Structure formats: C-alpha cells, structure tokens
Amino acid sequence: MAEKVKDLVCGMEFDKDSASGTFEYKGKIYYFCSLGCRDKFAKEPDKYTAHERKE
C-alpha cells in the first residue's frame, strides 16, 4: 500500500510512488507533484517547512 505524502508547495496529497520530484532538506525527504513545485521548494525551503512543525 502506497504511503500518502503532501506537497508543501501546492498542498496536494498524493501517493509517494506517484511523486514527480523529491528534495532532501535537513535530512528529510520531501515529495512533490511536479518539478515546478520541487523547484519552488528548492529555492525557499524554509518558507515551506516553517508551516510544518508538528513533529
């Protein structure tokens, strides 16, 4: 069963297996629905990860 992941750039949830791009930041892998979202994240990772401080 595929794990669900969330694209922090556009907020879309999808199966990990169908991710179009990944980016590693601070030891964690982030998944994206498209390379466009991946590029946006790569430019400003702090902007997107700031919202995700639940762990």
**Minimum CB separation from Zn ion for residue 46, in Å?**
18
Of 3-11, 16-24, 44-52: span binding Zn ion (CB under 5 A):
3-11
Q: Check residue 8 for interaction with Zn ion (CB under 5 A).
A: no
Structure tokens at 17: 């297996």
Which parts of 21-40 interact with Zn ion (CB under 5 A)? 33, 37
Give the containing element (helix H, strand E) for 29: strand 28-32
Which residues, 6 or more positions from 37, have their beta carbon under 8 angstroms from its beta carbon? 7, 9, 10, 21
Which parts of this chain interact with Zn ion (CB under 5 A)? 7, 9-10, 33, 37
